[in-house]
Structure 1
């Protein structure tokens, strides 16, 4: 999916061996524009991300370009595991800084020198990820910054996430179906990561790019949020929002942010609601190969209210009734609250976390009885409706095998 706006920012420094700094920031696109200077004698203002970064940024490892070239066998195409607006991502192996111990498998992002997202987002990732620390946020191990005759070289080194992204498992039909309870556990972890950004730091962080492709999965399918290039500090003092250029991914950005450029944590809540419906339905936010009435996910699901008899018709058919209808209704109602047109009426991420925990408990307690419930006829109705889609004009099946909707996965903006 394409972003609304891209920008480039050329650096004139040579070799960076110390923690990089943001310089000459555009005030219209930073949270500093919304900061309030407090009067003398009042409580000190929260420290900004750059201020916190100066404390913690020295913990990051600074890699040389030859080190990372060797780690990826010369950025071999066979080791490429992702690509996006930032550039390509490679699987690599690095040795410990002291030369002692076993090599570590990592993911290495390499800035596309002809790209549009560029240096500014690279700096944002370095600064934000050096400050935050949470089990559901991807860990940045280090970076490389070199300016030479061949242009700038900007790279980031992350922990390796072997199970790719939530997007892969929801929409790639060649992969096994992600079970219902695992979907809930993954989205709960993502919610806890967002709650930490919104409420668990000295300052408030607005993630601004929550989507299924940015929820990465480790070897145990534990979720971690990645890609902090668009993250911004939240408003402080008497300010209610941060004013920024409108950036993000189509289908996930909150409508009030698109219309006004006013950014708050409630913008993240909207995006979270979109992903909740992706988890429920197994559909992307936009699918152009479907009938007109079904192309936009949020418009389509409105036809099947969470408390209605036809609700089960939106549930991902690959789950094959192996889910709790009670919990699914709760998740849909939670999604609807996140997608409230009035941002003030959307829940906080802490409230989202508590609701998801209840849904998981309902799935554990009620799933067997759900399968024998009278409402199961609604699922049969959904299955019948799907069978009709495979019937010809004579009412006979046109295929002996069930053919799921085949979708070409779109490229992620940045994937680790």
Structure 2
């Protein structure tokens, strides 16, 4: 039997609901996706609830579930993932936050905009350098490290005695609300101390940013100053078995988004850096696809995880045109990936399986994650390549679905299932005799 290898393409936030502007269809139904449709036509399809039905989950818990880690058992907040992905190490006892640069009216305490600016790449590293190592007068035994992540985000790590992640953050979650005062979520002295430390940290960050020359210049230019850091998702590092120990896969992850990269590090996956991969609208999809093909074609790996972010950004920005546009660009990338993997199969005793799915829905009408299940497809590369060459031939491994979208997937042979079944489904599919 040929060597079996798996590529999982996860298109962040691809799921949606019917949009009036699109004739009561979803962006995925309207976008032209010939390659994703070929995958659906030559494979097995279904609907997936990343964690459980009815839960509008975050990307971190969704990815944990899909990779086989029960978030209700292991999850300790997203801050550690973001911080590790940004390049800061974590040791037991540290706490960390996934943080936003925001604009706050100091006099009222209202967070005017939770994202000071989406296009922040030129400013973020400089502001993070100004915040890195700030001194907390009331907590001299604790140190603070700050590292730029992506867009308007940064990772913040606090190290020192007696810290706990059983606290709230400072993020009001919506624009136009008061900055939240950090409080304990458990009645312990550690939580009380940590809450006081975080509130002081928030004030110190504001003072540094308020006086920074970048923000003086932004105000003169009529732009929102990035004068506040929203400390979100406090977390500590977790101890989980590696992907190789859990599933037997030698794995890599391509994900410029720091929170996903940090989760991959925690799971012992090799994090591959790709030039031009930015995790936003300007990312180089082709470069990411080519890097995944190159890695899977070596002896080093038999499982590759390729994470694409731009579609989720379009959902959060409520930009239906962008969502359709980036779905189509990802489809074109997959055409190149499938074609290259098919060529490798001709020269090596390897059989590639491809999964395409998402972590959650991000409807453009809502601008946030929602609880709708997402489409799931699993197919063999050789069958997809054959279908593409022979105009929608449906092979005997497939069901009757011929389109990759939320409505069509509901008719698939896999039915509806939860994210913790993804790897078991993949293993059964990979080790079923190919025809």
* TM-score after normalising by structure 2: 0.23
Please report the TM-score for the alignment, with normalisation by the length of structure 1: 0.24
Of Structure 1 and Structure 2, the greater strand share is in 2
